[in-house]
Amino acid sequence: MRVAEIMSKNFPFIREDELVTKARAMLRSHRTRILPVVNYDKRLLGIIYRRNIMAITSSVSAIRVKGLMENPRLVAVLDEDGYSVAKRMVKLDEWYAPVVETKENKLYKGVLGLENFIAHFLKTGSSKLSETLESIMSSEIVTCSPDDEVDNVWRLMQRKAFAGLPVVKKDKLVGMVTQKDFLDSGAVMPTFESKKGRYKSPPKISAIMKTSVISLKPSATIRKAAEIMLNKNIGRLPITDEKNRLVGIVDREDIVRAFLYV
């Protein structure tokens, strides 16, 4: 399996001299987690993550993409072995890798995401799909409360490198909050703010979290979780017991890892 066979070839990208406000609009409209950055020859220069956009306020909205982009931690090449790239992605905790034609010319060709591997594994009909989530879920879970302040939770997510957190009240799952929720809410994170802060009364997580959460039981199959992730464009699924108590979480990386290390 080569990268070119399973990658997303029509993944949106942005040019280096575009405004960051356009990048923010594209991330919202396309519901993507990253944007590859290219020059006018369509050569890959960098990458914009949702977390980069969250630091931008209206007072600095004239910033160009090239002033905010990061160097990709991993770049895939069209003819590379897909399994090899997947292992590197899991090792680096990277859900996406921009794809170029060759390492020499760096011509942008698309993006390889963990969802591409999940779709491939579903097509193969592996026996691994029938195993339960209990065998792959993470039971050490970081959570937040509906009453937590938005900026404090954002700092926690940045520090732990989490893209989303379960929201728990009295030991029961009551919602999820993700980077997309922060972005959609228009909340501005404090990176470029004054010490006094942007809000007189900081907003709570309850104001931006999603309460209609899809959860699964530990006895559900890997196939079930994989299908939901693809069909709903969900990155992680909380695992609950019969009393709706949070007992674990499964994300795309857990699914891919299960197939890579059978």
Span 221-252, pLDDT tens digits: 999 999 999 999 999 999 999 999 999 999 99
166 and 234 fall within a common domain: yes
Here the CATH number for the domain that contains residue 111 is 3.10.580.10
Q: Would you state the structure tokens that stand for residue 195, as one six-digit string?
A: 């010490």
Domain range for 82 is: 3-124
241 and 184 fall within a common domain: yes
Question: Are 99 and 78 contacting, i.e. CB atoms less than 8 angstroms apart?
Answer: yes
Please determine, for residue 192, whether its predicted confidence score (pLDDT) is greater than 80. no
CA–CA distance, 45 with 158 (Å, rounded to integer): 24
117 and 156 fall within a common domain: no
Degrees (nearest 5) of the Cα angle 110, 112, 118?
Answer: 140
Please determine, for residue 199, whether its predicted confidence score (pLDDT) is greater than 80. no
Span 50-85, pLDDT tens digits: 888 876 755 456 889 999 999 999 999 999 999 999
From the CA atom positions of the chain, what is the Rg in Å?
19
Tabulate helix, strand, coil % of the chain (nearest 5).
35, 25, 35
pLDDT band at 160 (very low <50, low <70, confident <90, very high): confident
Last residue of a domain, one of 74, 107, 124: 124
Specify the pTM.
0.88
7 and 120 fall within a common domain: yes
117 and 137 fall within a common domain: no
32 and 114 fall within a common domain: yes
CA–CA distance, 255 with 5 (Å, rounded to integer): 20
Q: Quick one: pLDDT at residue 262? A: 56
Please determine, for residue 189, whether its predicted confidence score (pLDDT) is greater than 80. no
239 and 166 fall within a common domain: yes
Last residue of a domain, one of 99, 124, 149: 124
94 and 26 fall within a common domain: yes
Q: Quick one: pLDDT at residue 196? A: 47
255 and 137 fall within a common domain: yes
Please determine, for residue 219, whether its predicted confidence score (pLDDT) is greater than 70. yes
25 and 51 fall within a common domain: yes
Q: Is 220 helix (H, G, I), strand (E, B) or coil?
A: coil
pLDDT band at 195 (very low <50, low <70, confident <90, very high): very low
Which residues, listed in sequence order, are joined to residue 34 by a DSSP beta bridge?
A: 49
| CA-wise closest residue to 155 among 197, 113, 114, 93 | 197
8 and 109 fall within a common domain: yes
φ, ψ of residue 99 to 5 degrees: the values are -115, 135
Last residue of a domain, one of 65, 94, 124: 124
Q: Which residues contact 214 (CB under 8 A, 6 or more apart)?
A: 228, 232, 234, 237
Question: Are 18 and 4 contacting, i.e. CB atoms less than 8 angstroms apart?
Answer: no
Degrees (nearest 5) of the Cα angle 219, 119, 238?
Answer: 35
Question: Are 209 and 175 contacting, i.e. CB atoms less than 8 angstroms apart?
Answer: yes
| Counted domains in the chain | 2
